[in-house]
Amino acid sequence: MSEPAGKQEFDVEALRRQVSEIQSRSETGQEEPPAQLNDFAQQIAEQFRDTNTTPSMLIGKFRLLEGMVVVLISLLANYLSEIRDPESFVIQFIAAVFAAGLMILSLQIADAYQIPSLRMPQRMVIRVVICWSLGWGAVWLLNWLLLSYKPNLHTFTWWVFGTAAMIAVRYLMAIAIRHWARNGIMERRAVIVGGGKPAKDLVRALEAQPENDIRICGIFDDRGNARSPDLVAGYPKLGTFGELVTFARLARIDMLIIALPASAEQRILQLLKKLWVLPVDIRLAAHAHQLRFRPRAYSHVGAVPMLDIFDKPLRDWDSVSKRAFDIFFSSLALLLCWPIMIGCAIAVKATSKGPVLFIQKRHGFNNEIINVLKFRSMYTEQSDPTAKKAVTKNDPRVTQVGRFLRKSSLDELPQLFNVLRGELSLVGPRPHAVQAQTGDRKYVDVVESYFARHRVKPGVTGWAQINGLRGELDSDEKIKARIAFDLDYIENWSLWLDLKILFLTPIRLLNTENAY
Q: What is the pLDDT of residues 287-296, one digit of tens each?
A: 555 444 454 5
Measured distance CA(41)–CA(247) in Å, rounded: 7
CA–CA separation, 491 and 484 (whole Å): 11
pLDDT for position 33:
58
Question: Residue 284: its pLDDT value, please?
Answer: 84
Identify the pLDDT of residue 20: 59
**Residue from 213, 407, 420, 239 nearest 304 by CA:** 213
Work out the pLDDT band at 380, boundaries 50, 70, 90: confident
**Which pLDDT does position 5 carry in this prediction?**
41
pLDDT value of position 8: 46
User: Of 252 and 438, which is predicted with more confidence?
Assistant: 252
Instruction: Indicate if the pLDDT at residue 27 is higher than 60.
Output: no
Q: Is the pLDDT of residue 7 over 60?
A: no
Q: Which amino acid is residue 40, in one-letter code?
A: F
Amino acid identity for residue 267 in this structure: R
Tell me which of 3.40.190.10, 3.40.50.20, 3.40.1160.10, 3.40.50.1460 is the CATH number of domain 8-23+31-52+187-310: 3.40.50.20
Short-list 59, 109, 501, CA closest to 317: 59
The DSSP secondary structure of 421-481, one letter per residue, reads TTS-EEESSPPPBTT-EETTEEHHHH-TTGGGGGGS--EEE-TTGGGT--S---SHHHHHH
pLDDT at 414: 94
Inform me whether the pLDDT recorded for 76 exceeds 90: no
- Would you tell me the crossing angle of helices 55-80 and 153-182 to the nearest 10 degrees? 150
Tell me phi and psi for residue 2, to 5 degrees. -80, 155
217's enclosing H/E stretch is: strand 214-220
**Residue 485 pLDDT exceeds 50:** yes
pLDDT band at 23 (very low <50, low <70, confident <90, very high): low
Residue range 325-347, pLDDT digits in tens: 999 999 999 999 999 999 999 99
pLDDT at residue 46 is higher than 90: no
* Percent over 90 (pLDDT), the chain: 18
98-148 pLDDT per residue, tens: 888 999 999 888 888 887 788 888 888 899 999 999 988 888 787 776 665
DSSP assignment string, 356-390: SEEEEEEE-GGG-EEEEEEE--B-GGG--TT--S-
Domain segments of the chain: what residues?
Answer: 8-23+31-52+187-310, 55-182, 317-508
Q: What residues have CB less than 8 Å from 16, skipping those under 6 apart?
A: none
Confidence of residue 3 (pLDDT cuts 50, 70, 90): very low
Q: Choose among 346, 345, 396: nearest CA to 374.
A: 345
- The continuous run of DSSP H or E covering 244 comes out as helix 241-250
